[in-house]
Amino acid sequence: MIESTDPLLRVRNLRTSFDTDRGVVSAVDGISFDIKPGEVYGVVGESGSGKSVTALSIMGLIDSPGVVEADAIEFRGEDISGYSDAEMRDIRGGNISMVFQDPMNSLNPVMTVGEQIAEVVRHHTPVGESAGFWRELSRKYVTGTDKESDSWQRAVELLDTVGIPDPKERATEYPHQLSGGMRQRVVIAQALAGDPDLIIADEPTTALDVSVEAQILNELLELADEFDVSVLLITHDLAVIRETCDRVAVMYAGELMETSNVQELFNNPQHPYTRGLLQSIPRITDDREWLDVIEGNVPDLINKPEGCPFQQRCNYSFDMCDKPLERHRVSDDHIARCHLHSPEVDTAAHDFDTEATGDRSITSGDSGIIADGNGGDDL
Ligand code: SF4
């Protein structure tokens, strides 16, 4: 449920690149978006589109030789893009937490799951228990957390909240003693332990069995609602987006191609790439013998084509497509970066059906092109 229009997270012109022997890889190439309080915001795209790098860049987790630049990464109105490592450590796990694809990468194999959650509670909430280096070291290797302490009690409570049976007992177990689904529940409990405002969930169920995938995802979103936490959900799966998100950004080759509220995107996709993704989804009512796939591959991010990065795979590509892309407002909450939406282009002449297109008169300026840096607009 969206509660406020002021962004919780405001990202402007985020660029992340990696200097390699072959040249500079532009993994994220000038993207902008807002996440509002209480919102579930989805980022969808093929592998290699830059979704995960976007999340890691926001969290300050890109290591050298990666370089992260941005005009702004504002969290609750404060620009965190220039924060030191220590300041970002305070943000991570507290204000913003992450749920990664593989829980084994997030959990420490030699600490009980209760210890790991209790540690986050001590570091990021006012329980009044010492979280100094030596005290934590002693807990980790000698004493363990006092089972009567508030941090331990909170850890057990959180395990219960995320649906782990017999949480008191489970809190004393190690990650390898739990199933994959339970481990991911532990990671969700850990993500909630710092009382965050935003959870970034990067393909949180991809590594799990199909049987528990939907269950865990639903639980994550129900808990986010209950705890009043926004979610940035990264996935390659448009069906997951449709079921879970309020708004969505479609990402391709490090750029955002289309953003919209979810219903509008599914009813009225206005970017050829989005349409291609939607056509590749199997449907129960399908009478197609073969699924439509988008032919070709994501371009080399070292030598991206001038203009639209999708042009080599696009059935509608035309002579304007090697010119820099601009953002075109399709409707109030729907923006597409595609030259077919340029006011001077006759879409019918390109066989591009825009019949379901929203009211183009709701545009910023006569041209329908949104000026760069216009606050509050994605892409
Ligand atoms: Fe296709 Fe051109 Fe639009 Fe890119 S800008 S999606 S190449 S029509």
Residues 258 and 210 both lie in one domain: yes
pTM of the predicted protein model: 0.87
Q: How far is the CA of 137 from the centre of ligand 1 (A)?
A: 56
Task: Note whether residue 101 is domain-resident.
Answer: no
Domain final residue, candidates 153, 170, 195: 195
Is residue 18 domain-shared with residue 125, that is, in the same domain? no
- At 187 the three-state DSSP class reads helix
Q: Are residues 356 and 242 in the same domain?
A: yes
> Ligand 1 — pocket residues by CB below 6 A?
272, 308, 310-311, 314, 316-317, 321, 338-340
Number of domains in the chain: 2
pLDDT band at 145 (very low <50, low <70, confident <90, very high): confident
Domain termination residue (choose one: 195, 226, 250): 195
- Length, in residues, of the chain: 379
49 occurs within a structural domain? yes
Are 188 and 204 part of one and the same domain?
A: no
Does 283 lie in the same domain as 174? no
What is the phi-psi region of residue 351: left when phi exceeds 0, alpha when psi lies from -120 to 50, beta otherwise? left
Identify whether residues 61 and 121 lie together within a single domain: no
Name the 3-class secondary structure at 167.
helix
CA 299 – ligand 1 centroid, Å = 14
Q: Final residue of a domain: which of 195, 211, 229?
A: 195
Q: Choose the residue to mutate in 316, 335, 354 for probing ligand 1, maximizing ligand atoms within 8 Å of C-beta.
A: 316
Is pLDDT of 367 > 90?
A: no
Query: What CATH number does the domain containing 28 carry?
Result: 3.40.50.300
Q: What's the pLDDT tens digit per position in 98-124? A: 998 888 888 999 999 999 999 999 988
Bigger pLDDT: 73 or 3? 73
Query: Per-residue pLDDT for 239 more than 80?
Result: yes
Task: Assess whether 210 and 113 both reside in one domain.
Answer: no
Indicate whether 285 pLDDT > 80: no
Q: Are residues 302 and 243 in the same domain?
A: yes
Residue 345 lies in a domain: yes
Whole-number pLDDT of residue 172: 96
Same domain, 41 and 149: no
329 membership: H or E segment, kind and range: strand 328-331
Query: Atom of ligand 1 at shortest distance to CA of 320?
Result: 2
List the domain range (segments joined by +) for residue 119.
106-195
Within a domain: 100: no
Establish if 232 belongs to a structural domain.
yes
Query: Does the residue 127 lie in any domain?
Result: yes
Cα dihedral 284→288→289→292 (10° resolution): -100
Are residues 150 and 278 both part of a single domain? no
Q: How confident is the model at residue 336 (pLDDT cuts 50, 70, 90)?
A: very high
Same domain, 120 and 84: no
AA identity, residue 222: E
Helices (H) and strands (E) in the chain, counts: 12, 13
353 in the same domain as 339: yes
